[in-house]
Homo-oligomer: A and B are copies of this chain.
Amino acid sequence: MDKQVLLETRERVSPYIHNTSIFTSSLLDVMSGSKLFFKCENFQKMGAFKMRGATNAIMQLSKEQQEQGVVTHSSGNFAQALSLAAKNLGVTAYIVMPNNAPKVKKEAVLAYGGIVTDCEPNIAAREQAAQQIVDEKGATFIHPSNDLDVILGNATAAMELLEVHPDLDVILSPVGGGGLLAGTALAAHYFGNHCLVIGAEPQVADDAFRSLKSGQIETNDSADTVADGLRTQLGDINFPILQKHVDHIICVEEQEIIKAMKILWERLKIVVEPSSAVGFAAVLKEKEYFKGKQVGIILSGGNVDLETIKFS
């Protein structure tokens, strides 16, 4: 791993992704006491940063592998991302989705041409269904977060942010499966100017926080958080990157996530999903820590079901 690998990744995926806008708000700066730079991955193709990693992972397969298709299991955004990235690259995508995934996300997968297989909403069922497709179709399994090519693709979001704002003191990223946080950490390590990386995680799914404390990958007994993109756990590929390059993780309560999300919708006039709001929630929770700092916040996505979302 070196800087060159990241530069090559960015060059590879850039024709297939948006270099998304960076929003600022003098009102939110006053509210937080810091200078905030929001990297708007809700404006990314298919509505989330996951387009970056999915695109890179498929592009790194051999021609023979691409012809057999790709398969993943995902609660939502990575399913859409792999479907659209595959479509853009002329590859077949098989998607295993838990049967309680948000309706809007399942419809989007189908619209992007993904071939959907339903499964029970637990990790064992997801893995089993995906393995069956690997066996039967010869498709290559691509993990949503514990895959180095996915992580490298994800890193391009923070690379773009640091290209415009090279002197950020810190970048916050949500942490669920760990793929975005790991990519962000690599980007900050190679392209930041002493830029710290901090993870933000729902308190009720604080497995990453506990993993960094204990030095081994911890799991959640339950993960009933409104931030539905952050219910998953770390993996053996991204965890060592987090251990090496992430300063610490801040955990936030459910009500703090919802309040932060509402402020982003009301003040920035943008649609972000609950998982996107944990970084901003962490800044509001730890104002004293961030005071006066230049803070990058990755808003990870904007795919919500408008008819079911609640703000109180």
A residues touching B (Cβ–Cβ < 8 Å)?
21, 40, 42-43, 47, 104, 262, 265-266, 269-272, 302, 306-307, 311-312
Q: A269 is contacted by which of B104, B266, B302 (Cβ under 8 Å)? A: B302
Q: A306 is contacted by which of B42, B104, B266, B272 (Cβ under 8 Å)? A: B266
A306 touches B262 (CB 8 A): yes
Report B-chain residues with C-beta under 8 Å of the C-beta of A270. Answer: 269-271
Q: How many copies of this chain sit in the oligomeric assembly?
A: 2
Q: What are 10 sample pairs from A and B whose C-beta atoms fall under 8 A apart?
A: A42-B269, A43-B269, A265-B271, A265-B306, A269-B302, A270-B270, A270-B271, A306-B311, A307-B311, A307-B312
Q: How far is the CB of A7 from chain B (nearest CB, A)?
A: 28
Q: How far is the CB of A25 from chain B (nearest CB, A)?
A: 10
Q: How far is the CB of A311 from chain B (nearest CB, A)?
A: 5
Report B-chain residues with C-beta under 8 Å of the C-beta of A312. Answer: 307
Report B-chain residues with C-beta under 8 Å of the C-beta of A311. Answer: 306-307
Q: How far is the CB of A209 from chain B (nearest CB, A)?
A: 29
Report B-chain residues with C-beta under 8 Å of the C-beta of A306. Answer: 262, 265-266, 311
Closest to A48 in B: B269
**When chains A and B are docked, how far (Å) is the Cα of A272 from the Cα of B262?**
14
